[in-house]
């Protein structure tokens, strides 16, 4: 199944450069316009506050910082998001958000974004988010 994201502006926040490049390529093949990718929390916060976007894909752990403040800004702006993480099922703190596990395929990424953009899936994280325990990615 192909997920057409034609013209949708998708923000990518991912600290691993190779993963960010792969996500960018996958999104562009699906027709999206990529905002970023951004690799650090500070820049992510700036983009989340100022850039026009339709949805976002956020890595949870950005080199020891967590993307939850970015998610909160996006939630306040009404922008749907997907968390991408290597934490898997250990992310109880974001149980109300759509989470895809790394490594993910273009199909999984496109499907998750199509779901949140259509309003079928969780479009925002829970109100209170805490970093996961002692799990490193």
With b meaning 16 or more CB within 10 Å and e meaning fewer, what string describes 59-95? bbbbeebbbbebbbbbbeeebbbbbbbbbeeebebbe
pLDDT given at position 120: 79
pLDDT given at position 96: 66
Q: Is 99 helix (H, G, I), strand (E, B) or coil?
A: strand
Q: Where are the domains of the chain?
A: 9-118
Q: Write out the CATH class of domain 9-118.
A: alpha beta
pLDDT given at position 91: 58
pLDDT given at position 11: 98
Stretches in the chain below the pLDDT threshold 50: 123-137
DSSP track, 61-86:
EETTEESHHHHHHHHHHT--EEEEES
Centroid of chain to Cα 97: 10
């Amino acid at each position: 199944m192909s997920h057409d994201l034609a013209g949708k502006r998708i923000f990518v926040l991912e600290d691993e450069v190779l993963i960010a490049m792969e996500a960018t390529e996958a999104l562009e093949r699906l027709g999206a316009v990529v905002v970023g990718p951004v690799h650090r929390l500070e820049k992510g916060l700036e983009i989340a506050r100022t850039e026009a976007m339709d949805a976002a894909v956020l890595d949870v752990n950005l080199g020891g910082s967590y993307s939850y403040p970015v998610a909160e800004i996006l939630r306040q702006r009404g922008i749907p998001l997907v968390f991408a993480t290597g934490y898997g099922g250990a992310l109880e703190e974001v149980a109300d958000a759509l989470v895809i596990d790394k490594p993910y395929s273009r199909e999984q990424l496109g499907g998750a974004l199509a779901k949140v953009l259509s309003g079928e899936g969780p479009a925002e994280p829970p109100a209170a988010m805490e970093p996961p325990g002692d799990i490193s990615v």
